[in-house]
Amino acid sequence: MDDLARRQLASIAELVEVTGPAGVPVWLRGGWAMDFHLGAVTRPHVDVDWYCWHEDAPRLAALLLARGWRPDPRMPAERQLDLFAGDVEVSVAYLGRDGSGRPTVGAGPWAGTLLPAGMLDAPPGRIGALVVPAISVAAQIEFKQMYPVWMPERPRRPKDADDLARLLAGPRRADPRTPRS
């Protein structure tokens, strides 16, 4: 594992450490969520991606900014919360709810679009002793398969194809709190 991956893992640990006691639910998404479900770092990551409820974003931002995280001036906070923990890029996409309480895209041009059923109901993921909430493997697979369909201008990248193969083939432990042998 390289130094950037270690710093990214430290940012993941810090975010979970801050949000838990504050009662701000968050879910890891993207490549790091895949790694936490597989139980190991599988590839280098550019950034760390999360979800939080849109209404919790101001409180989450305040908690992290108070710890020295910096806002990313390149990204509009109306769409998602983008921060730096040192040199680690962290993006927090917003979740909304429909009239039945199901999770939806929380901001931007797709706001209100339903997200995969059960996405937020997965057991937490684990790498070593670090246990974090993460979106479900099924949701990650759906996203990896559908992004090129939903957004034709965003073709599937080689890393997305590799991630999809890992997710389809990877182990899924029933309870990631159970130590691995």
Confidence at 63, pLDDT banded by 50, 70, 90: very high
Residue 11 C-beta-side C-alpha neighbours within 13 Å: 28
Domain at 3-169, CATH from 3.30.720.200, 1.10.10.10, 3.30.460.40, 3.40.50.1970: 3.30.460.40
The CA R_g of the chain, rounded to the nearest whole Å, is 16
Per-residue CA distances from 44 to 39, 67, 109, 146, 155 (Å): 15, 25, 30, 23, 20
The answer on pLDDT for 128 being more than 50 is: yes
Mean pLDDT of the chain: 89
Higher pLDDT, 102 or 147: 102
Instruction: Specify the pLDDT at position 159.
Output: 79
DSSP 59-121: HHHHHHHTTT-EE-TTS-TTTEEEEEETTEEEEEEEEEE-TTS-EEE-SSTTTTPBPPTTTT-
Confidence at 163, pLDDT banded by 50, 70, 90: confident
For the chain, the domains span: 3-169
Share of the chain above pLDDT 90, in %: 70
Closest CA to 134 of 17, 3, 12: 12
Collapsed DSSP state (helix, strand, coil) of residue 177 = coil
Residue 68 Cα to chain centre, angstroms: 21
Higher pLDDT, 142 or 28: 28
Per-residue CA distances from 153 to 30, 120, 139 (Å): 19, 27, 21
Could you tell me the maximum CA-CA distance found in the chain, to the nearest angstrom?
Answer: 45
User: Residues 74-104: pLDDT tens digits?
Assistant: 888 889 999 999 999 999 999 999 999 999 9
Q: Phi then psi for 83, rounded to 5 degrees?
A: -135, 165
Closest CA to 125 of 22, 13, 6: 13
